[in-house]
Amino acid sequence: MPKAHVLLTKKELDQQQLPGKVVIVLDILFATTSIVAALAHGAKEVVPLIGAEAALAEAKKRDKSTYILSGELNAETLPGFCHPTPLSLMRENMTDQTLLYCTTNGTVALHKAGGADHIYAAALINGRAVVERIVHDHPEETVLIVCSGSADNFNLEDFYGAGHLVSLFKQLAPRQYELTDAALAACLLHENGDALEALSQARVGRMIGGARYCCAAQRMAV
């Protein structure tokens, strides 16, 4: 029986054997929600990159009318880049554009997961769709749910998001996966906690108004 496991930070990917596994990357209050929202609002594709230098190099390969540059480093928007939060990106005209996107945590985690057979960017707003796809397409593969964290530190919002996904795996495939203790802990938080409280009281949530922000992003992305 394949396992469903939760990694508390992206740094834990360094200790994992990734070939043969499915990785789901979460950055609930930033990158992965932005990626999902951009695609929902007409972006042709999102290219996750590590840092401004990589994003600018990728931009040079493309016609200027075909992409939007967006990124941050340590919560500061990069000079000349669009602000990289979901609500800010959805104010841009994303239709048929490529989003060249770099962040401190989420896009780094996506790159660190590169050795996995399959990689998904997930958020609260597309969690069910991601879990349904994995249950259907990869029923025999172990699933690693990766909390991007904040500068290699644990954060509450990603752990809550991981619990949301584990709850969906339990609901949609109750006998398909063996849940590790980390997965069970995340699930217990989700099933017994309050989403608005978890998002708004987490450190990043306090910094950006997480509850209001995520509720608004969800309304705009669906």
**Pick from 113, 105, 39, 31: nearest CA to 74:** 105
Q: Specify whether 57 is located in the same domain as 134.
A: no
Query: 17 CB contacts (<8 Å, ≥6 apart)?
Result: none
Q: Is the pLDDT of residue 175 over 80?
A: yes
18-34: average pLDDT: 95
pLDDT for position 78: 97
122 with 215, same domain: the answer is yes
Per-residue pLDDT of 135-152, as tens digits, reads 999 999 999 999 999 888
How many Å apart are CA 32 and CA 160, to the nearest integer?
14
Q: Residue 53: pLDDT above 90?
A: yes
* Strand, helix or coil for residue 216: helix
Residue among 43, 59, 33, 58 nearest 204 (CA): 33
* Of 79, 104, 129, the domain-final residue: 104
Domains: count for the chain: 2
Residues 67 and 119 in one domain: no
Predicted confidence band at 208 (pLDDT cuts at 50, 70, 90)? Answer: low
Measured between alpha carbons, how far is 206 from 154 in angstroms, rounded to an integer? 15
